[in-house]
Amino acid sequence: MGLTSVTALAYLFFNLYTPPCFAAIGAMNSEMRSKGWLWGAIGLQLGTGYTVAFLVYQFGTLFTEGHFGTAFIPGLIAVALMVLAVILIGKKVRSHFDEQYRLHAKTNAAKA
């Protein structure tokens, strides 16, 4: 089948970091009360699972066989795109919070 111990370990890590069962996702939905944040959380969990599994597989294959595993460059591009997406979303959220708190600071300064 081609399933090595490194591949099995990478699969284990992927399953460990991916989104939980539908009941837990339903609880996240009721707690977050926003479809955007829910899908963002699910995407972040999938991206984290993929990244960790990719790193475990690639470095495990490098240590055990002396070369990187299959599809190193496409996987590296996918990980880089996920990291870029998290950074851009983080900057967008941060600028929204900065704008919101700046607005409150101006309102409080005007009242004083």
> Is residue 50's pLDDT more than 70?
yes
Helix, strand, or coil (residue 1):
coil
Summarize pLDDT for 65-98 with one digit per residue, the tens. 999 988 999 999 999 999 999 999 889 888 888 8
Higher pLDDT, 1 or 21: 21
> Is residue 104's pLDDT more than 80?
no
Mean pLDDT, rounded, for 33-56 = 91
Mean pLDDT, rounded, for 49-60 = 95
For 37-86, give the DSSP string.
HHHHHHHHHHHHHHHHHHHHHHHHHHHHHSS--TTHHHHHHHHHHHHHHH
Tokens in use for 9? 């370990």
Helix, strand, or coil (residue 105):
helix
Integer-rounded Cα Rg, in Å, for the chain is 20
What pLDDT does residue 11 have?
94
Going by the DSSP 8-state scheme, the letter that residue 26 receives in this structure is: H
- Is residue 43 packed enough to be buried (19+ CB in 10 Å), middle (13-18) or exposed (0-12)? middle
